[in-house]
């Protein structure tokens, strides 16, 4: 931390205060000697420090200082392990302090709405609970090491297409249940130093000047006390952004925005108190500035990266015990990715790795291996000749391991994919190798999910490595040889077809708008609710051991909460790590709910034969939905089923509890519908009694049918037509009674 004690920066001249709220260059804030404030450097993360070499006034495309490239978020998400996220955050904090960086930008917790998003490698999951738990752990680790974090990109940043202009048009329930909870958890549990606003608009308003997001939700509801920083170049209207709650504009714009702020204050359009508020928040970042440390242990961090990467890969398929590889097997390794690994994403988070392991070298250290590249990363060369060479080696081997995936040019920040297929040359290679090899294993490297169709059924095993960081090659070798048991679980669904994904018809939008038409039915929520088959579901992952689940007990702990206890037992012959996944299902309440939603999880290490009873408290949010009429979280009275699953589609135990929930007495106005009036718990019975008393004999039998026809009519119009039956004074009395009962 800093050794300086800044004085009150709000006493500075207005021009200097405005200057403090904008970068002095591409990566740092201006120092203000009069207030004892040093310059604060903010650099990219989140899976490694990207400190630019040389002039900080240059756009961030220059070479960066060597740093450890840890597994990116796409891999960490598949770990389902907050300890992995926290240890990465802590190590990044150590390296940032050594390099002289007080704030590292990350983690990213945006939801994977579509598998096509070009930046999915930088996000954790399609589920907000998983993303939020991992993001909070990363922030705790990084800030525990004395380096500020910046949770991003707030909010509804789920595509790269027109990312600086597009309006994400999304209803409030969907925002509250899907796109905001990960941010909420990080803010309320880990208190990040900064929150970074997104480029895009949300319902027509730029995120950088969205007062509801930046002030009402982030600060007033969640209690955020840090600084809101813009994504680089995200500010459209500097004064409007400041008023909305954005504190620091990055990068600097050569003083143009500062002049607008000064002019707005002097003309009376902007209260100087707004400037002072942001000045205090930005000045607080100086608390993370300190003298650089003596460096970091690059070898130890590389070993850490290897250890953590091994816990992130997902064993999707393992027919006939094809893995782990047995000693003495003749092994053919095929695929350029085996010797030229794809280990991180492209764009602003690209880390200059201290060293890079490849799987081919790591496997060669354990046994004799023959190798053929099989394809080129840029599509050059004679594909048929390369394939033929690989097939020849595979034919003479006991096992062929094919390393396939996407090259960096196939996915990156700045653009979205248009499909999820592997390159055709790789598909042809896999099929050709599988046709001649006794056993075929495919290892996948990609920042987003890829289709397994066209070759999946031809191979014996599939290991999804995603992007595992600089030590991923050695980690993959550890998993293939059985030195480490695979324990990853899918953090996003692998569909059979892109057309099956819930956002398919609404991604990436058109004419400047993208409509989130699938609502809360994102990812597995959609697939399980409509019972649509997938290749592999959210939460799926195999191991070299077996685990059984037993003795599920669910006990209510209040009107809207419960406690879950479940026992898991390692019934296999080797140690392993199992992810206990707890889902909640209900049809109670006035809104359509997903068939089940993840509400708790824990990764448990088990020795052979070991049992462990795991407990989970489920608070009211685990059972609640966002009620747009009540503008709050509501637990519907009724039955709620707690399910323990191996994945979102494989439920192995369940128990149902009845919750008292929230008795909601709806507000009534003359704009409320006739049906809402007659069905109201307080006003309804009285209204019906009075109405029928004035109607001819037999009107009671007509009541139900009449409500069907006119139930949606506003009471104001209905009363105008049936004024004698429902006097205005009676309606006023009933509205008052309904309000009193709320």
Residue 545 — φ and ψ, nearest 5°?
-125, 180
Instruction: List CB contacts of 218: < 8 A, sequence separation 6 or more.
Output: 154, 183, 187, 195, 224, 228, 245
Mean pLDDT of 616-624: 98
Residue 60 binned pLDDT confidence (cut-offs 50, 70, 90): low
Q: Look up the pTM and report it.
A: 0.95
Pairing of the two strands 167-169 and 513-515: parallel
Please state the rounded mean pLDDT for residues 211-215: 98
Residue 3 is predicted with a pLDDT of: 42
Q: Is the pLDDT of residue 510 over 80?
A: yes
Q: Is 130 left (phi over 0), alpha (psi -120 to 50) or beta?
A: alpha
For 417, the token pair is: 């994919």
Tokens of 80: 């389902």
What is the secondary structure of 501-561 as a DSSP string? STTGGGSS-BTTEEE-TTTT--THHHHHHTT---SB-TT--B-SS-EEEEEEEEEEEETTE
Query: What is the DSSP annotation of 191-205?
Result: --SEEEEPSSEETTE
Report whether 463 contacts 492 (CB < 8 A): no
Contacts 24+ apart (CB under 8 A), 719-727: 719/670, 724/694, 725/691, 725/694, 725/695, 726/687, 726/690, 726/691
Peptide bond into 107 cis (omega under 30): yes
CB atoms within 10 A of CB 699: 14
Task: Compute the distance between CA of residue 196 and CA of residue 506 in angstroms, rounded to an integer.
Answer: 26
pLDDT of residue 59: 64
- Residue 219, number of CB atoms within 10 A of its CB: 17
Q: What count of other Cβ atoms lies within 10 Å of the Cβ of residue 725? A: 16
3-state secondary structure of 364: helix
The residue count of the chain comes to 742
List domains and CATH numbers for the chain. Answer: 9-56+93-117+124-288 (3.20.20.300), 313-487 (3.40.50.1700), 547-659 (2.60.40.10), 674-740 (no CATH)
Which residues belong to the active site?
Answer: 231
Write the CB contacts of 452 (distance below 8 Å, at least 6 apart in sequence). 316, 462, 494, 535, 536
Residue 4 in this model has a pLDDT that exceeds 50 = no
Q: Residue 192: pLDDT band by 50, 70, 90 thresholds?
A: very high
Neighbours of 718 (CB within 10 A): 19
pLDDT of residue 723: 61
Q: What is the mean pLDDT of residues 614-621?
A: 98
% residues pLDDT > 70 (the chain): 95
Structure tokens at 664: 């909601």
Query: Would you state the pLDDT for residue 711?
Result: 87
Is beta strand 148-154 parallel, antiparallel or unpaired with respect to 194-197? parallel
Q: Compute the Cα dihedral for 69, 75, 79, 80 and give only its sign.
A: positive
Write down the mean pLDDT value for the chain: 94
Question: Which of 291, 285, 201, 185 lies closest to 244 in space, CA to CA?
Answer: 201
Three-state secondary structure along 205-256? EEHHHCHHHHHHHHHHHCCCCCEEEECCCCCCCHHHHHHHCCCEECCCCCCH
> What's the 3-state SS for 87-151?
HHHHHHHHHHHHHCCCEEECCECCCCCCCCCCCHHHCCCCCHHHHHHHHHHHHHHHHHCCCEEEE
For the record, the structure tokens of 112 come out as 């994977």
Residue 6: its pLDDT value, please? 56
Q: What is the pLDDT of residue 692?
A: 64
Beta bridge partners of 659: 638
- Between 688 and 507, the more confident residue is 507
Using CA atoms, how far residue 343 sits from 49, 309, 359, 541, 631, in Å, is: 15, 10, 11, 21, 43
Looking at residue 1, its pLDDT comes to 42
* Per-residue pLDDT reduced to its tens digit, 683-732: 989 887 876 666 556 555 555 666 778 889 999 988 887 666 678 888 99
- Alpha helix stretches (DSSP H) within 365-462: 383-395, 424-436
Classify residue 658 by its DSSP letter: E
pLDDT for residue 347: 85
* 526 has pLDDT over 80: yes
Of 234-238, 630-634, 721-725, least confident by mean pLDDT is 721-725
Residue range 470-481, pLDDT digits in tens: 999 999 999 999
Token code pair at residue 545: 């051991």
pLDDT tens-digit map of 111-122: 999 999 999 999
With bands split at pLDDT 50, 70 and 90, how would you rate the model's confidence at 57?
low
Find all residues with CB under 8 Å of 278, minimum gap 6, and list them: 21, 227, 242, 246, 247, 248
Q: Dihedral sign, CA of 206, 208, 211, 213?
A: positive
Which has the closest alpha carbon to 491: 393, 574, 603? Answer: 603
DSSP state of 176: I
Give dist(CA 130, CA 648) in Å, integer.
Answer: 13
Band the pLDDT of 346: cuts 50, 70, 90.
Answer: confident
């Amino acid at each position: 931390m800093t050794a300086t004690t800044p004085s009150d920066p709000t006493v500075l001249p207005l021009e200097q205060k405005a200057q403090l709220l904008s970068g002095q260059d591409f990566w740092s804030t201006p120092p203000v000697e009069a207030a004892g404030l040093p310059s604060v450097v903010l650099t990219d993360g989140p899976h490694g420090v990207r400190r630019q070499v040389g002039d900080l006034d240059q756009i961030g495309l220059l070479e960066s200082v060597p740093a450890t490239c840890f597994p990116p978020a796409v891999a960490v998400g598949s770990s389902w392990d907050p300890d992995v996220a926290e240890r990465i955050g802590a190590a990044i904090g150590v390296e940032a302090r050594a390099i002289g960086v007080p704030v590292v930008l990350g983690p990213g917790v945006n939801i994977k709405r579509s598998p096509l998003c070009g930046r999915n490698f930088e996000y954790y999951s399609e589920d907000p609970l998983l993303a939020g738990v991992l993001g909070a752990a990363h922030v705790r680790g990084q800030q525990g090491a004395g380096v500020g974090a910046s949770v991003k990109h707030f909010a509804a940043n789920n595509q790269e297409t027109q990312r600086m202009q597009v309006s994400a048009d999304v209803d409030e329930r969907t925002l509250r249940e899907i796109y905001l909870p990960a941010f909420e958890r990080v803010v309320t549990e880990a208190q990040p130093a900064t929150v970074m606003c997104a480029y895009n608009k949300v319902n027509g308003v730029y995120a950088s000047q969205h007062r509801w997001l930046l002030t009402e939700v982030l600060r007033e509801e969640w209690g955020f006390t840090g600084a809101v920083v813009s994504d680089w170049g995200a500010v459209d209207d500097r004064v409007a952004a400041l008023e909305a709650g954005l504190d620091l504009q990055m990068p600097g714009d050569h003083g143009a925005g500062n002049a607008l702020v000064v002019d707005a204050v002097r003309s009376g359009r902007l209260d100087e108190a707004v400037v002072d508020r942001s000045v205090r928040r930005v000045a607080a970042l100086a608390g993370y500035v300190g003298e650089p440390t003596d460096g970091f242990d690059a070898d130890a961090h590389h070993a850490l990266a290897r250890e953590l990467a091994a816990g992130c890969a997902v064993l999707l398929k393992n027919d006939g015990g094809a893995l782990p590889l047995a000693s003495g097997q003749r092994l053919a390794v095929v695929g350029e990715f085996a010797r030229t690994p794809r280990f991180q994403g492209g764009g602003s988070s690209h880390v200059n790795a201290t060293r890079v392991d490849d799987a081919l070298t790591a496997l060669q250290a354990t046994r004799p291996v023959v190798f053929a590249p099989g394809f080129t990363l840029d599509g050059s060369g004679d594909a048929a000749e390369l394939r033929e060479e690989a097939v020849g080696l595979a034919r003479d081997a006991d096992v062929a391991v094919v390393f396939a995936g996407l090259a960096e040019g196939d996915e990156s920040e700045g653009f979205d994919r248009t499909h999820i297929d592997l390159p055709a040359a790789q598909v042809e290679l896999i099929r050709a190798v599988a046709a001649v090899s006794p056993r075929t294993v495919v290892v996948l490297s990609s920042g987003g999910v890829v289709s397994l169709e066209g070759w999946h059924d031809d191979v014996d095993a599939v290991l999804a490595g995603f992007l595992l960081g600089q030590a991923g090659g050695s980690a993959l070798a550890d998993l293939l040889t059985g030195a480490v048991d695979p324990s990853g679980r899918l953090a996003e669904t692998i569909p059979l077809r892109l057309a099956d994904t819930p956002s398919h018809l609404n991604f990436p939008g058109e004419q400047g708008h993208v409509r989130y038409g699938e609502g809360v039915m994102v990812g597995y929520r959609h697939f399980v609710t409509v019972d649509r088959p997938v290749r592999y579901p959210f939460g799926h992952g195999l191991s070299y051991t077996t685990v059984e689940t037993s003795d599920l007990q669910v006990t209510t702990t209040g009107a809207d909460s419960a406690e879950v206890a479940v026992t898991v037992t390692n019934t296999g012959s080797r140690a392993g790590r199992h992810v206990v996944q707890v889902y909640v299902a209900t049809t109670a309440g006035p809104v359509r709910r997903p068939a089940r939603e993840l509400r708790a999880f824990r990764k448990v290490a088990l020795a052979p034969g070991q049992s462990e009873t795991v407990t989970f408290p489920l608070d009211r949010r685990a059972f609640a939905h966002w009620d747009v009429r009540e503008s709050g979280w509501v637990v519907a009275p009724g039955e709620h089923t707690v399910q323990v699953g191996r994945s979102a589609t494989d439920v192995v135990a369940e128990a149902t509890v009845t919750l008292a929930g929230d008795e909601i007495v709806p507000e009534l106005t003359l704009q409320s519908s006739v049906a809402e009036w007659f069905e109201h718990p307080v006003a309804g019975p009285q209204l019906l009694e009075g109405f029928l008393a004035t109607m001819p004999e037999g009107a009671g039998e007509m009541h139900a049918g009449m409500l069907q026809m006119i139930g949606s009519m506003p009471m104001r119009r209905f009363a105008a037509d049936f004024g004698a039956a429902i006097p205005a004074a009676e309606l006023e009395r009933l509205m008052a009674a309904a309000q009193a009962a709320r």
